[in-house]
Structure 1
Amino acid sequence: MKGECSQTSIQIELPLRLVIHQSKFSFVDLFAGIGGFRIALEKLGGQCLGYSEIDKQAIQVYKQNFISYLNQDEIELGDITKIPELPANIDIVVGGVPCQPWSVAGCLRGFDDPRGKLWFDVIRLVNQSQPKSFIFENVSGLASPKNRENLELILHELENIGYCVKWKILNAYDFGLPQNRDRVFIVGIRKDIEKCQEYNFPESLKVHPKVLDILDELKNIKIVKKAKLDANTLFKGVIPPSRTRFQKDDELNDFFIFSDLRNGHTTIHSWDIIDTTDREKIICLTLLKHRRSKKYGNKDGNPLSFQNFQEIIPDIKLNELDNLVDKQIFRLTDDHKYEFVNSKNMTGINNIYRIILPAADIVPTLTATGAKDYIATVSISASHPEQYKRLFLEKIYKNKQYIPITAKHACKLQGFPKDFKYHEKDDIARRQFGNSVPIPVVEYVAKELLNILRI
């Protein structure tokens, strides 16, 4: 194991966050991962009585950062399904219950996924130990319409075992991190505790650093004031309904997406980076526009036959389509229709899905599976979408002025402290950070809870 958020290597025998002063409250760390919850609670004066985790690589990182000869009596609880009971007299139980069953990436299988059923072990242990309170975290998909009944069941069961329960979706961006990370937080307080119903989730800090503010490689980049543009210039009059809170309707996007299946003003297509004629570009855009038409099939994206193309472009020649096959932009299906080679959106093009500009407010949600996301190391400014795309291709893409999001970046983007020692293998460390919680969010959620508990 090696690696810290900071560049300086710190050699020290004891974990740097080890709480050796008189603790204010106790907690148990379920689904502990690499210790995101623990860092926040120890900062507030908590003492961990035990932790549960089954991933061996995560346990290694956890022990390296938190366990020493001074707290060897702390209980390693192991697999939650095999824990008979929790330590006595716990103030708070915390945990990031496995989120894959409720996420889009996990196909929203919910309780049909064995990991989804781990909620029942959580409820069992809370019921047995009756801690004063709990904080649980999960992906926002748990609160989606498809999973809403499951969320209601979880809340109902927690209330039935004696707790006042509240939940809310909180975003890491609202707590000082330049990451768009929505997560469901569930807080419960035992009903016999005065004012248990009065818990309120923390409000946004209104402190919003940009990506370049926290990454060392971007420190010297100056923010250029962006031009204000009308909707007709940006969207040809129709603003897409899928835009997020981080995309302004009067400004150019802070990122470029590599996809042959989309066509926003900052979308890079394969025909933008491969030598193609204007005529070939028109043919490609024709497939892009009509591939989702029900006229050509019931798929989300349908291939088009030569005859289909003739209906749209009457003078098209077969060799024009075949030339795009030769350039590996199109491919022929088994039934002799044409579809894009890059036919999966998140796959991107040339192993790139998204390049985020340094002046962006956020990076997309860090995930355990990782994404083909990069950060540009130079900034660009333009007053028109076509100029913006041209400058991006010339100055950033072709000159390779971009870097991958590494474990060092993920460490900062999740709010881990500079002295945190993460796994020496970057891919493993990135996965672990993607599975973790944004520490400042936990800290502020817990602060509000401690006020109610009068700790």
Structure 2
Amino acid sequence: MKSVNSQMTKQKELPLQLLISRKQFTFIDLFAGIGGFRIALEKLGGQCLGYSEIDKQAVKVYQQNFISYLNKHEIELGDITKIRELPSNIDVVVGGVPCQPWSVAGCLKGFEDPRGKLWFDVIRLVSKSQPKAFIFENVSGLASPKNRDNLELILQEFEHIGYCVKWKVLNAYDFGLPQNRDRVFIVGIRNDIESCHQYQFPSPLNIHPKVLDILDEFKNITVVEKVKLDPHTLFKGMIPPSRTRFQKDDELNDFFIFSDLRNGHTTIHSWDIIKTSDREKMICLTLLKHRRSKKYGDKDGNPLSFENFRELIPDIEINELNILVDKGIFRWTDNRKYEFVNSKNMTGINDIYRIILPTADIVPTLTATGSKDYIATVSIHASHPEEYKNLFLEKIYKPKKYIPITAKHACKLQGFPANFAYHQKDEVAKKQFGNAVPIPVVEYVAKELLSIVDI
């Protein structure tokens, strides 16, 4: 993929009219962010006529990478709610419509969230400008059962204004990026275009680089073939139903999760980190096992009283529970029951939720809100879960052989060019990349569109 800066350098060598004549189609970039859609469409021959974005920091990054004296005629459209009309003769309108209303992080408020209502501004502008086609992207939550009626409403509105519309959830992993990133893509083609019903979403590329293949710090790490294990060894005979397509049932996981609320073969508990006896570990596992029992309450995780513990461990002494309080593993509730100090999954332990091995196939979805995910700087290999966990603690966790996911990593994990000029503040840049679209997915979605629509 050509970098933005190299493209702009070449553009400066060409007269403006010659540059425009080489463009194959025109597009408008709504909710432009830092330009993920633009990079993909320019690579395919698109010319941007205008962009809309209200985040001032994102606009600065966008302009730094794309706006020069050659395209100073390009319109900065500003707030979509205040745009009365789009430039004329547009071939394609694209955009990553704000996703928070449809995501778990945004509390799934949908159209109740003002950002959810921005879909109606999109529909209004598409209706008025009547481009030949459009491509919009959103979180997979828009297609969840809870939001399916909202998705259907959006699709129907596009159909009512004269478009044949299709949608599909696509994952960045299937298009050459080692990131588990599901996103809904909505493609519409104007009904008067003969091929409007022929669009098909792109098929997976079957190209799967590992994390270490695209991040420079890990290129010297050797990948060793994993040992195959039976479900009894890995899961004590019961495979958890929550496992994803990236977790194999006959291999050790490529990541370790720090949580006192789970107990998988790569779960690190606070009692694995804090010095505890086998007896204390057994008491902790007892709370972990029974805290969700309806016998002790209706919450999804209930504290247990000393009397509850005595039913489960008849010879337990209250002093044993209080020692675990002193160690910072248990705490008292208001009614003097015991619960874990680390009582929320995503908060992790000691500000770490997940450490991913560099030999992993993927990293979790990059988000705008950030995460407590890290990447190990060394790899480990084992033939048994217990050995694997011990090696992790000794070789990675204790010597701190792990690093946070940086903006430089996020840039590559989203498919942006290596010399893309992102924000100088790492946290701001990571947020912007977390909001961005995975460029290869957009490229292949758009390429299929261009193959059937004469624009």
- Structure 1 position 14, deviation (Å): 5.3
Q: Is the 8 A contact 2:32 2:51 kept in 1?
A: yes
Partner of 2:277: 277
Does structure 1 conserve the Cα–Cα contact (< 8 Å) formed by 2:173 and 2:208?
yes
Mapped partners of 1:15, 1:335: distance in 2 = 68
**1:132 counterpart residue number:** 132
What is the root-mean-square deviation in Å for CA atoms of aligned residues?
Answer: 1.6
Quote the Cα distance in structure 2 between the aligned partners of 1:11 and 1:43.
13
Contact 1:15 1:67 in 2 (8 A): no
Tell me the matched-pair count: 448
Distance in 2 (alpha carbons) for counterparts of 1:331 and 1:396: 28
Which AA in structure 2 matches 1:145? P
In structure 2, what is the Cα distance between the partners aligned to 1:263 and 1:17? Answer: 56
Residues 15 and 433 of structure 1: is their aligned pair in 2 closer, same or farther, counting only changes over 3 Å? farther
What letter matches 2:208 in structure 1? H
Check conservation: 2:5, 2:65, Cα contact below 8 A: no
Where in structure 1 do 4 or more consecutive aligned residues deviate above 3 Å? Answer: 10-20
Deviation of the 1:454 alpha carbon: 2.7
Looking at structure 1, the residues matched to 252 and 67 of structure 2 have their Cα atoms a distance apart, in angstroms, of: 48
CA distance in 1, matches of 2:391, 2:82: 57
Q: Secondary structure, in 3 states, of the residue corresponding to 2:49? A: strand
Distance in 2, matches of 1:305 and 1:452, equals 66
Q: How does 1:102-121 map to 2 (within 5 A)?
A: 102-121=102-121
Map of 1:175 onto structure 2: 175
* SS of residue paired to 2:189: strand
After superposition, residues 313-392 of structure 1 pair within 5 angstroms as 313-392=313-392
State whether structure 2 residue 152 is matched by structure 1 residue 155.
Answer: no
Shift of 1:141: 0.3
- Percent identity between matched residues is 80
What's the CA shift for 1:13? 12
Tell me which residue corresponds to 2:32. 32
User: How far apart are the structure 2 equivalents of 1:181 and 1:139?
Assistant: 9
Unpaired segments ≥5 residues, structure 1? none
Distance 2:102 2:7 in 1: 40
Show the counterpart of 1:420.
420
Q: 1:43 to 1:224 in 2, by over 3 A?
A: same
Q: Is the 8 A contact 2:5 2:419 kept in 1?
A: no
C-alpha deviation, 1:301, in angstroms: 1.0
1:84 match: 84
**Residues 15 and 64 of structure 1 are in contact (CA less than 8 Å); yes or no, is this contact kept in structure 2?**
no
- Could you give the per-residue CA deviations for residues 410-453 of structure 1, whole angstroms, max 9, x where no partner exists? 00000001121000000000000000000000000000000111
* 5+ residue gaps, structure 2: none
Separation in structure 2 between the aligned mates of residue 141 and residue 26 of structure 1, nearest angstrom: 30
SS of structure 1 residue aligned to 2:197: helix
Inter-partner Cα distance in structure 2 for 1:16 and 1:306: 73
Query: 1:197-232 CA deviation, whole Å, 9 max, x = no partner?
Result: 000000000000000000111000000110000000
Q: Secondary structure at the match of 1:179?
A: coil
The answer for the alignment partner of 1:41 in structure 2 is 41
CA separation of 1:243/1:13 partners in 2, compared to 1, >3 Å: closer, same or farther? closer
Distance, in Å, in 2 between the alignment partners of 1:11 and 1:24 is 20
Greater RCO, CA 8 A, separation 6+: 1
Question: 1:72: Cα distance to partner?
Answer: 1.0
Matched residue SS, 1:403? strand
- The 5 A counterparts of 1:57-68 are 57-68=57-68
TM-score by length of 2: 0.96
Secondary structure of 1:198 counterpart: coil
